[in-house]
A and B are shown apart, each in its own frame.
Chain A
Amino acid sequence: MWYLAVAAGSFRRYATYRVATVAGVFTNTVFGFIVAFTYLALWHERPHLGGYDQAQALAFVWTGQALLASTGLMGGGLDELQERIRSGDIAVDLYRPADLQLWWLAADLGRAGLQLIGRGVAPMVVGALAFPLALPGDPLTWGGFLLSVLLGVVVGFALRYLVALASFWLLDGAGLALISGLACMFFSGMVLPLRVFPGALGEVAQLLPWAAVLQVPADVLVGARSGGAVLRGLVFQAAWGGALLALGRLVQAAATRKVVVHGG
């Protein structure tokens, strides 16, 4: 399985950016503190807002910071693919005897794995030391959480892959990537948990694919989903992941028909 080798290579590649990882941990921790204090004030004003108690809300904040880098909530990870499309190097990739989408999925999973360990664990530990967090004690919930994170990473990848493919038509995809990143921040629960959104907005937001990236894994971890609801959450994520990857294949097929290789 050479896709496994691609994933391992990507993992090692991101592992070399040690200073950047430490800097990222620092930033995630600082933002974690700021958001945690605003949530404390918010839950002080309205206890049990969105069905979370204070410890759950705080755990939600730090889960968001821990998953920010690995799920690619703010974009990134596929900049290189976007650049290869813009410059035309993508023509070389299409000649390779590997599937383009699976290749980049493998690379993204490797990146996400490293960033979950490198940029996820440390902020969570600091958060747990500084605030009373509602974290589960049983390994089963942690297992469900990790599975949910994996599916969240796949959905995040599928979305970013579609954005990257848009470069075939837009040439400079930076603007679209920025807007897509914002949509992801807002509708994933990173800005505010989706259950706290008022009325219909909250209900609709929980059905959109972005909810699969952060809201579902975080709910599994803080215990807002348990038993059958965990399973329903995983099915929801898998369904969006499958649908978006399939859509990615369709767009990829349309895009590769469009590629005209210039000579030279």
Chain B
Amino acid sequence: MTATLPAGSPGRRIILRPRRILMHLALCAGAFLMIYPLLWLFSSSLKPSNLIFADPGLWPSKLRLENYPDGWRGAALPFSVFFTNSFIVSTLAVIGNALSCSMVAYAFARLDFAFKRTLFALMLMTIMLPLHATLIPQYILFQKIGWVNTFLPIVVPKFLAVDAFFIFLMVQFIRSIPRDLDEAARIDGAGPIRIYWSIILPLLTPALVTTAVFSFLWTYEDFLTPLVYLSSMDLYTVPQGLRLFMASTGVSAWGPMLAMSVLSLVPLFIVFFVFQRRLIDGIASSGLKG
């Protein structure tokens, strides 16, 4: 059994040992099993509703592309409304998180201030705090100030650095940036704000991209927060639009509903394929949930 060599070790040769081939076969089978539900979803979205269950094969025996335009028209409102809402909310979340978390991370990593260690510990503790602990009072607060049924309760918290995970990620990253750079800038007369803006922020780009990607994904996928805060349909995000579709249409509309499910995943796939490495490195180095 030579196969205990870790990846990247000098023993990495392309030699077709039977054990290796077997392992590749097993991995491919596993990969197919992982992907199969997604393939099924896509193929079913192209089938007439009455064939989705009757015809289990992945290759549709009869194509029905109309599922897509039919689904796009939606249950009560067209999906263009839901997609627009989702993109507004997710984009604002990306900007909010990138900005506020990088500011806070800079302070923790580079500045000296009173109660720093206590505040840092507090910040780490909030990572573990379940969302539900604050959900109800937050709702009451937003209801009192008249923000319920607007995007504000979803977006404003991102500008207040509530996702401490990203602060932590950026603190770790800033600590890896040589302090000599700050020192040089300080000698040239730059203050902390200048140093943050023209030295740290540009060098922080990789961590900012990771933060932006995960902010987008999590906000786009989030179902609970919009469910709690948004009540009028024209503010619904994509997940709520899907749920509306599911609740209001009968069995006959499976095709259009699955078509919209596929479309709702497209932005996630695009982000996945463009930022694959960044996503995986982000998970590996900081333990961000996926």
Instruction: Say whether A associates with B.
Output: no
Taking Cβ atoms with an 8 Å cutoff, the residues of B that contact A are none
